[in-house]
Amino acid sequence: MEWVAALLFLAVILLLLAGFPVAFTLGGTALLFATVGVLGGSFHEALLSGLPNRVFGIMTNETLVAVPLFVFMGVTLERARIAEELLDTLSALFGALRGGLGISVTLVGMLLAASTGIVGATVVTMGLLSLPTMIKRGYSSEVAAGTICASGTLGQIIPPSIILVMLGDVMTTAYQQAQLEMGVYSPKTVSVGDLFAGALIPGLMLVLLYVLYILGVAFFRPETMPAHDRGAGQRVSLAQVLRALLPPLLLIFAVLGSILKGLATPTEAAGVGGMGALLLAIYRRELTLVRLTEIMRSTLSISSMVFLILIGASVFSLVFRGYGGDDGVRTVLEALPGGVIGAVLVVMLVMFLLGFVLDFIEITFVVVPIVGPVLLAMGLDPVWLGIMIAINLQTSFLTPPFGFALFYLRGVAPPSVSTAQIYRGAVPFVAIQILALLLLAIFPDIVTWLPQQIYGD
């Protein structure tokens, strides 16, 4: 009955393209197919008895508690105007350098990514704050838009990233399932901390590649990035730099460092991050009762969306497997020419294309549980595969014409910046992303070295 599973997957994609809510589409379509299958005798109703256990497992999953805590941390830092002060300070610091404002935007995007982990919020915030300034200083609209979109998507890969938390939980289950299928009954585990450690060097490598590209454009096409003459009132002191950089950096190091050193679980570290963000907002006198209410509502809305999609994806996964969909996927991937390399290329291409129409949450909860066990059973490293998936989705969100980051920026960009200019600006950064994927494929130690040093084999 694998063809029914394929039809279920296709029906879900078509309904999502039609604009139906994700969570209800996943769960509702799966239950409809299950009902028809039970009536037709092709689906065993006993499989549905596993749904309560799946939902209860989501409710009691301690790792997933980190998601609302990291969301709270990110939303609080966004409302505390951290980005505004960081951008003003770094712009004043690098402003006299040709391309300095572009470098400042990239560095602020990196810090926001490590602080918030929310791509949409980062792109919108950077678009509102920096795009008008860059255009006013004579920057090319293409360069400005591309820099903002690319730096905003760093939240996908730079830890502590929400997608890495969810991906870590999914990869843990997929890795254990793959080992059991291979006859390993004392399976090794992969944790969120492993993915955080694996993502650190690739994330910083991407930032470095972005900065090198900006410097290259500034050198070869100086008219697109004019230098800015600083006035006497625009000079920045060491105290101003420290005031802007130290608090968010200390918070990032406290959260990430405690996870990597094994002092705290991701959930515990997320709690520390949420409290730290709250104290930072109070210190900056940016926290009012109205703003706190906005933070709580935004956190509740985002977290509810994530967990409702996760429940819908669990229903979908159960019915998909009930129709033998996982066996069908395994058969297809194992039959591809090129062995494991061919299978990885096809999966990455499918995920890249799905990234045009699905958010990373749906792809993480729906697609990864289907293909993950098959690829891991072929001998791939789970940390390497997880980071490759994360960067692949980041590339997809940046690629014209359907990249989510481009839509986010289009929503806040002034009318003088056309959609075509945003698309053209993003293309060089897409090429950088593809280069990064190739480097990680050729040199997997870029991903696996740090986790091995921290956690051992």
Measured distance CA(422)–CA(412) in Å, rounded:
12
Q: Return the pLDDT at 118.
A: 63
Residue pair 178/190 in contact (Cβ under 8 Å)? The answer is no
Q: Return the pLDDT at 431.
A: 94
Neighbours of 359 (CB within 10 A): 20
Residue pair 101/228 in contact (Cβ under 8 Å)? The answer is yes
Q: Return the pLDDT at 233.
A: 56
| Residue 77 predicted with pLDDT over 90 | no
What are the tens digits of pLDDT across the range 164-180?
888 888 888 888 888 88
Measured distance CA(194)–CA(269) in Å, rounded:
15
Average pLDDT score over residue span 420-436: 92
Residue pair 391/433 in contact (Cβ under 8 Å)? The answer is yes
Instruction: Judge residue 425's burial from the number of C-beta atoms within 10 Å of its C-beta, 0-12 exposed, 13-18 middle, 19 or more buried.
Output: buried
pLDDT band at 440 (very low <50, low <70, confident <90, very high): very high
DSSP string, 111-171: HHHHHH--HHHHHHHHHHHHHHHHHHTT--HHHHHHHHHHHHGGGGTSSS-HHHHHHHHHH
Residue whose tokens read 């900056």: 284
Give the contacts of 103 (CB within 8 A, at least 6 positions apart). 90, 94, 97, 211, 214, 215
pLDDT band at 231 (very low <50, low <70, confident <90, very high): low
DSSP string, 296-361: HHHHHHHHHHHHHHHHHHHHHHHHHHHTTHHHHHHHHHHHSTTHHHHHHHHHHHHHHHHTTTS-HH
For residue 315, what are its two tokens? 């229903």
Q: Return the pLDDT at 428.
A: 93
Closest residue by Cα to residue 113 from 100, 102, 122: 122
Q: Return the pLDDT at 70.
A: 82
For residue 436, what are its two tokens? 């990064």
Average pLDDT score over residue span 251-266: 84
Name the average pLDDT for the chain: 84
What are the tens digits of pLDDT across the range 192-215?
888 989 999 999 999 999 999 999
Average pLDDT score over residue span 63-81: 81
